[in-house]
Amino acid sequence: MELIRTPQPELADLFVKTLRRNGFAVDRREADGQHIIELQNPAQYEHAHALLQELINDLRHQQHRQPVEPLTGRPQPLLSGGWFASMGWVTRGILIACAVVYLSTYVIGYCIYNAFLFPRVVEGLASQPWRLLTPMFLHFSLLHILFNLLWWSDLGRLIERLQSGTQLVLVTVITSAASNLA
Q: Is the entire prediction scored with pTM above 0.85?
A: no
Average pLDDT, the chain: 82
Look at residue 81 in the predicted model and tell me its pLDDT: 53
Question: Cα dist. 64→59, 60, 69, 74, 176 in Å?
Answer: 9, 7, 16, 16, 45
pLDDT above 70 covers a percentage of the chain that reads 80
User: Do the Cβ atoms of 64 and 140 come closer than 8 Å?
Assistant: no
When pLDDT is averaged across residues 130-146 and rounded to a whole number, the result is 80
More confident residue, 62 or 143: 143
| pLDDT given for residue 78 in this prediction | 47
Q: Convert the pLDDT of each residue in 15-44 to its tens digit.
A: 999 999 999 999 999 998 899 999 999 999
Closest CA to 55 of 91, 15, 95: 15
Return d(Cα 14, Cα 16) in angstroms, integer: 6
Going 39 to 41 to 42 to 48, the CA torsion angle's sign is: negative
DSSP 8-state secondary structure symbol assigned to residue 76: P
What pLDDT is stored for residue 136 in this prediction?
A: 79
- In this predicted model, what pLDDT tens digit does every residue of 92-104 receive, in sequence order? 899 999 899 889 8
Look at 89 and 114; give whichever has higher pLDDT: 89
**pLDDT surpassing 80 at residue 3:** yes
* Structural domains of the chain, with CATH: 2-64 (3.30.70), 89-181 (1.20.1540.10)
Helix (H) or strand (E) holding 172: helix 165-181
